[in-house]
């Protein structure tokens, strides 16, 4: 369980932990975090360093206004630029270029917190010919408990409004078939963890990194051997595992 610092804004604390060198998830200005706040979100400003985040590194974005932009078929880079500039006039800074994908995730799911990062080992697989190994099966039970049985894998798409639109289409199809994913992997790019609490998304990022390392290790000693599909389904639906997940979420809620 991740114990968060109660003295800090939970979003700032999450950002610093996600950007801590030991996580190997974000360098320099990489990655971004956000929380849902009613009909808006607070998201990392463009260029801010996660590991050194302060309250001033986040900007408020109205979800409906951003969704109208994403859904406007005539909107392109110039319209996004104007939208972000208007936010900067009020908030003092522009949102991260990836903010539009956060907007899509909040619109399509019940996520309360999102962490986007580029974990080194996860990216080793996402930048390989074997990216499906992250989503085609499960290696061990805790992977399923923390990351769910069905993460989503998105092909490489130019970050920004195109990625937001195309990821929305893929996310909707995935939710209709498998339910809301806890993790979205982006080929040649990184991952999004979505959850109810900062601790959950931080834990999911760490577990994804651990899975990626296990996959790389297994490939080096003869190849990945996934758990049998019926065992994966059993873990995913076991009452005691649901209880464990609920406990985990409650404990993280208390810690904030």
Interface positions with Zn ion (CB under 5 A): 190
Minimum CB–partner distance for residue 102 and Zn ion (Å): 11
Give the SS3 label for residue 17. Answer: helix
Minimum CB–partner distance for residue 244 and Zn ion (Å): 30
Q: Name the one residue in this structure whose structure tokens are 């804004």.
A: 9
Q: Is 90 exposed, middle or buried (0-12, 13-18, 19+ CB in 10 A)?
A: exposed
C-alpha span between 48 and 230 (Å, rounded): 44
Minimum CB–partner distance for residue 190 and Zn ion (Å): 5
Minimum CB–partner distance for residue 209 and Zn ion (Å): 15
Minimum CB distance to Zn ion smaller for 190 or for 199: 190
Minimum CB–partner distance for residue 249 and Zn ion (Å): 26
- 56 CB-near residues (< 8 Å, 6+ apart): 92, 93
For the chain, the C-alpha Rg in angstroms (whole number) is 18
Minimum CB distance to Zn ion smaller for 51 or for 190: 190
Edge-to-edge strand list for the sheet holding 58-62: 58-62, 40-44, 32-37, 113-117, 190-195, 183-186, 152-154
Minimum CB distance to Zn ion smaller for 149 or for 161: 161
Minimum CB distance to Zn ion smaller for 119 or for 190: 190
Minimum CB–partner distance for residue 118 and Zn ion (Å): 6
Minimum CB distance to Zn ion smaller for 138 or for 206: 206
Is 255 within 8 Å of 199 (Cβ atoms)? yes
Minimum CB distance to Zn ion smaller for 13 or for 98: 98
Give the SS3 label for residue 123. Answer: helix
């Amino acid at each position: 369980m991740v114990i968060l610092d109660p003295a800090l804004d939970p979003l700032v604390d999450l950002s610093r932990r996600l950007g801590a060198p030991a996580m190997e998830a974000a360098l320099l200005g990489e990655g971004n975090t956000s929380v849902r706040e009613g009909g808006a979100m607070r998201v990392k400003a463009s260029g801010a360093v996660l590991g050194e985040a302060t309250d001033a590194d986040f900007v408020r974005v109205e979800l409906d206004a951003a969704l109208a932009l994403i859904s406007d078929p005539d909107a392109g880079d110039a319209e996004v630029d104007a939208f972000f500039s208007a936010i900067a006039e009020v908030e003092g800074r522009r949102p991260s270029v990836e903010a539009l994908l956060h907007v899509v995730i909040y619109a399509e799911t019940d996520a309360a917190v999102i962490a986007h990062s580029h974990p080194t080992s996860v990216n080793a697989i996402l930048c390989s010919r074997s990216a499906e190994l992250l989503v085609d099966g499960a290696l061990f039970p805790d992977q399923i408990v923390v990351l769910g049985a069905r993460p989503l894998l998105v092909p490489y798409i130019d970050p920004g409004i195109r990625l937001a639109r195309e990821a929305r289409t893929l996310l909707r199809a995935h939710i209709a078939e498998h339910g809301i994913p806890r993790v979205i992997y982006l080929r040649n790019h990184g991952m999004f963890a979505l959850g109810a609490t900062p601790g959950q998304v931080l834990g999911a990022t760490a577990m994804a990194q651990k899975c990626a390392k296990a996959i790389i290790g297994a490939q080096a000693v003869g190849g990945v051997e996934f758990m049998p599909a019926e065992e994966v389904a059993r873990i995913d639906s076991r009452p005691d595992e649901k209880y464990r997940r609920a406990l985990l979420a409650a404990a993280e809620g208390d810690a904030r």
